[in-house]
Amino acid sequence: MIRELNMFGRRKKRVYLDWAAATPLLPEAKAAMLPFLSGDFGNPSAIHKEGSVARQAVEGARDKVARTFKVRPEFITFTSGGTEANNIAILGSIKKLVESGSEYCDLEVVTTKIEHPSVSRAFDELESLGVKVKYVAVDETGLINLTALRELLSAKTALVSVSYINSEIGTIQKLHAIKKVLKEAEEVYGNSILFHVDAAQAPLWVNCQFDTTQADYLALDAAKCCGPKGVGVLVQSRRAAVSPVTFGGGQEAGLRPGTENVAGVVGAAVALEAAQADWKSRQETISLVRDQAIKYLLAEVPEALINGAFGADRVANNINISLPLYDTEFMAVVLDKHGFAVSTKSACSGAGGGESAVVKEISADPSRAASTLRITSGSDTTLKDLQRLTAVLRKHLDKMSAYIK
């Protein structure tokens, strides 16, 4: 919890409910980072003792991440965040195919229209290069229609990309079922279909080990699981190859040139390990809080519409609602004044107003898409916290209802 002074000089408790955007730094991660922010400041590419200490720290972090996700260390690439990890996987995999003799115009890729901007805009770039981008339908909860996916695949399909957990509505995709469809298509058409999974929102709440996700490319973001901001990880399978999309030195096997953020990767490795070590107990505890909070919210605020899935298909910490006719951007400001930090959509979608592309896609309702609130809890969030938020929300809605009648 964050505490600050109110207008009377007394301490008031703030409740942070925007864990999908950023998470607090794990104390153990901070402790591991501190030496590399002061005394051990060497460049890991240097050949002297200081550089060697830094290099050992980076490679130790790589080994730790590899053990956490059950892959070999050489399949781990440190990046500047989930956005860069997604871009390297999507753009780099297609570039590799083109360098191997394919033409952009002969390649097809498949994704959905509810992806994070770091994925959707990478596909826009591929489309501008001549790649055919196909969009698979999702149902009203955000789950991929497997029949529709099967019908989109062909001998030209090179890559399929989905998010493990949707950053706005919290829907958990059924990766095993998707992978099964891809394997069946590979047998039918005789080509390899690479599978990219944006798992930025996943490590705290679900199993992300590589044999579970069955991804060829798994993109992670330390800032979403109590690690430092500005550090991501790209995990690759044995068959997955990429070409660099940025250029400079030979760091990270040439895929991510530039001096490694030593403190950042060390902290990221600790945070990712801790996230995956306790994901199941964390999920079980917070999902109970979420379910009780949704029940209470719908009873107190019956005009609220829940966006996304229910139960096991929804990540434990996510509540996403629409309040058609109400200004939820203003509502988020009001909640902030009362000590609750929430958002309306993905922080990477940009600040200010505008509709949620995700909610518009699953609902086909512009008014619903323009009136969303995203409430994402943390491991210390209580039912009482969410009930207090509901009370503030109810009071605000009662006040505003006079202006919309």
Cα(397)–Cα(388) distance, integer angstroms = 14
Give me Rg for the CA atoms of the chain: 22
The alpha carbon dihedral of 187, 188, 194, 199 has a sign of: negative
Six-digit token string for 217: 């490319």
Cα(126)–Cα(132) distance, integer angstroms = 8
Cα(107)–Cα(56) distance, integer angstroms = 40
Give the pairing type, strands 194-198 and 157-163: parallel
Active site residues: 348
Residues 6+ apart with CB under 8 A from 128: none
- For the purposes of burial, counting CB atoms within 10 Å of the CB of 251, is it exposed (0-12), middle (13-18) or buried (19 or more)? middle
